[in-house]
Chains A and B, each alone.
Chain A
Amino acid sequence: EAGVTQSPTHLIKTRGQQATLRCSPISGHTSVYWYQQALGLGLQFLLWYDEGEERNRGNFPPRFSGRQFPNYSSELNVNALELEDSALYLCASRGPNEQFFGPGTRLTVL
């Protein structure tokens, strides 16, 4: 069974640009979560999508947004990039008891 996949692995952008990160959940999973792990910090919850709808969002500005497609894959968009957006962005899909994480996208903002 394939795990959670994310693309790209690495992404380099400059300040003010937009970044788009993609995630495919485990087959059969309908919920997708996005987390940010900035340097020296734990994982911070960003967004939760289930059945195509946003269910919850963390304490992040509106320039962090996303969507979930009919096939349950998801996209995270970060507009007007700032230097502090540099982080590892992790996507997870939910199984019966736990969330399964993808390998992450390392976003670097220069």
Chain B
Amino acid sequence: DQQVKQNSPSLSVQEGRISILNCDYTNSMFDYFLWYKKYPAEGPTFLISISSIKDKNEDGRFTVFLNKSAKHLSLHIVPSQPGDSAVYFCAASAQYFGNEKLTFGTGTRLTIIP
């Protein structure tokens, strides 16, 4: 049972344009969501997070949107740069319930075309 889903295994975007990565979840107890970026042969690197009490969080070129009613979140990268090419993982946890383990999606491979 995949509680966090990233339905697009891959995405290609022109440099300078907006990249939008999507993530859906099924567990209503999730209250904290994170995006990680992963390069080959490296561990995931934290990008940005959002608590369920907010619907938007912004950090530089990265913005995460959360739609709780739809159980959907998205990561926007504007403008996209070649160094953004990596695999992006969405993750969720139920921190209020003391369960800090992260449940990850299967990832979306983002390729930025110069």
How many angstroms from the CA of A43 to the CA of B99 in the assembled complex? 17
Contact check, A42 vs B45: say whether CB atoms are below 8 A apart. Answer: no
Contact check, B103 vs A45: say whether CB atoms are below 8 A apart. Answer: yes
Residue of A whose beta carbon sits closest to that of B44: A101
Contact check, B104 vs A42: say whether CB atoms are below 8 A apart. Answer: yes
Asked if A4 is an interface residue, CB under 8 A from chain B, the answer is yes
Q: How far is the CB of A76 from chain B (nearest CB, A)?
A: 15
Cβ-Cβ contact count across A and B, 8 Å cutoff: 54
Q: How far is the CB of A91 from chain B (nearest CB, A)?
A: 8
Contact check, A97 vs B43: say whether CB atoms are below 8 A apart. Answer: no
Q: Which residues of A contact B103 (CB under 8 A)?
A: 45
Q: How far is the CB of B66 from chain A (nearest CB, A)?
A: 15
Contact check, A58 vs B43: say whether CB atoms are below 8 A apart. Answer: no
Known A42-B89, A42-B106, A98-B34: A48·B100 in contact at CB below 8 Å: yes
Q: Which residues of B contact A56 (CB under 8 A)?
A: 99, 101
Q: Which residues of A contact B106 (CB under 8 A)?
A: 40-42
Count contacts on B: residues with CB < 8 A to the other chain.
22
Pick the contact of A97 from B49, B101, B102 — CB < 8 Å? Answer: B49
How many angstroms from the CA of A92 to the CA of B99 in the assembled complex? 15
Residue of A whose beta carbon sits closest to that of B93: A99
Asked if A102 is an interface residue, CB under 8 A from chain B, the answer is yes
Q: Which residues of A contact B99 (CB under 8 A)?
A: 56
Asked if B53 is an interface residue, CB under 8 A from chain A, the answer is no
Within residues 6 to 44 of chain B, which ones have a CB less than 8 A from any CB in chain A?
A: 6, 34, 36, 41-44
1/0 per residue, CB under 8 A from B, across A72-93: the answer is 0000000000000000001010
Known A42-B89, A97-B49, A98-B49: A4·B43 in contact at CB below 8 Å: yes
A residues neighboring B (CB under 8 Å): 4, 31, 33, 35, 40-45, 48, 56, 58, 90, 92, 94, 97-104
